[in-house]
Amino acid sequence: MSEFKQIGLIGRLHSPAVIETLHRVIACLNARQVAVWVDDRIASSLHDAQSYNTPYGTGDRHFLGQHCDLVIVVGGDGSMLSAARIMATYGVPVIGINRGKLGFLTDIAPDDVEVSLVEVLDGQYAKSDRFMLSAHVMRNSKEIGRGSGLNDIVLHPGESARMLAYDLSIDGTPVYFDRADGLIIATPTGSTAYALSAGGPIMHPGLDAIALVPMNPHNLSSRPLVVAADAELEILIGDDNRTAPIISCDGQVHIVCEPGDRVRIQRHEARLKVLHPLGHHFYERCRSKLGWHGRSSDDE
């Protein structure tokens, strides 16, 4: 008998492909007599799914986190990131079905939905544990905003094209002052996302490390820096900035800052549990998603 008795479903909005896949997932879970709960943001698009023998319930994402043993996310990496920040706080594992573009975080291909889900329900899956980052923005010693990110925390100028001036400290020790288009603080999970585009290192998701990647730094000696995951980072936003910088968490939660604010970033207390189909390998994902190639017969 499956260890997953209550399963929640979250999907990207306004996507016919996602709706079609959710119908198939519901049918598969109903056939296994699993209780199904659908995120109420997308439930209205699934009204005809009620024709299945076992109806599904609805609730918001916090309800799913409180009542479900597993949450299935149908969409792209953005959908997974949005769900992950909530599910991690409840300790609920997630698994992704890729209906997006790159799909680094969503492992199951649409054509493999039924086969992969049955295997997961039968206990045939791999599991990884991912840490997240938390950001606290302080102004005059008072917190004015906070957020968390599975991929990254990014300091950037918003819509302005101006460079940002900031001071970086790690564990209370000054590291450097810089002017740049911004600074990306990425987890290993996020090292293949925005940080990779800015020239950051690719890190295996099992590492306990954080990558700090300046974006187009004025100081040419400012290179990506990898530090321990338990490091405490502080960014002091320079008083001479002529714009209101923004702290973005996974590109989805945004905090508007002011010159003189301090941004404190550290490992979040919650961790995300991610389930994978058997045969999932990180380096194979890199090969397929990033276009890495092995030796061809012409090279021999």
CA distance 247 to 138: 12
List of residues 6+ apart from 156 with CB closer than 8 A = 164, 181, 182, 215, 245, 246, 248
The helix (H) or strand (E) run that includes residue 159 is: none
List of residues 6+ apart from 242 with CB closer than 8 A = 162
Beta bridge partners of 139: 142
Beta bridge partners of 95: 72
Residues forming the active site: 77
DSSP 111: G
Taken as a whole, the chain contains a residue count of 300
The helix-helix angle for 16-31 and 113-121 (nearest 10°) equals: 40
Which tokens belong to 156? 């950037």
CA atoms within 13 Å, Cβ hemisphere of 72? 33
